[in-house]
Amino acid sequence: MAKAYRKEDFDYIMSKVAKVDQRFKEYLEDVGYEKWSRCHSLVNRSRMMTSNIAECIYGCLVEARKLSILGFLEEVRILFAAWNCKSNEIASYTNTTLGRRFKEILTLNEVKALQMTVKPAGSYLYCVYDSRRRYIIDIKRDTCNCDW
């Protein structure tokens, strides 16, 4: 129950605890849910680094450090692209519900995207119109003239 990300899940587990021993539930309430429960935490833990990612990256790039700076940066790009691809593949098979906060962020971005118009300008070029601004996006070169 401490690891529940959604309050609905937390409440469901706490109701089971109350059925087993009401005294234990009361004790946990007295301690304060915000001290031990993820979904009641006052700190935004989703942006905290929970593992030592720097050490992981360092270990993966031991051989690449012997290359020139451009070669090294290309290895870093390839490594991150591979990780991103793997994460996207794993995420595509995930069908859990989002928490309320993330659902709100997606809804806000969806509303913003609906106000934009995308028109192709070539095989890899697209113009995105947002209010009175126009952005040119080149997918092949992975460039955009915006400041996102």
The domain limits of the chain are 7-47, 49-106, 115-148
Beta strands 133-138 and 116-120 are unpaired
pLDDT at 105: 92
pLDDT at 49: 46
**pTM of the full structure:** 0.34
From residue 31, how far is each of 24, 27, 39, 65, 137 by CA, in Å?
Answer: 11, 6, 15, 50, 53
Print pLDDT tens along the chain (148 aa): 667 778 888 888 888 888 988 888 888 888 888 877 877 777 665 544 445 677 788 888 889 989 998 989 999 999 999 888 888 888 888 777 778 898 899 999 898 888 888 888 888 889 988 887 888 888 888 888 876 5
From residue 33, how far is each of 8, 39, 114, 125 by CA, in Å?
Answer: 14, 9, 39, 51
On whether the CB atoms of residues 60 and 79 are closer than 8 A, the answer is: yes
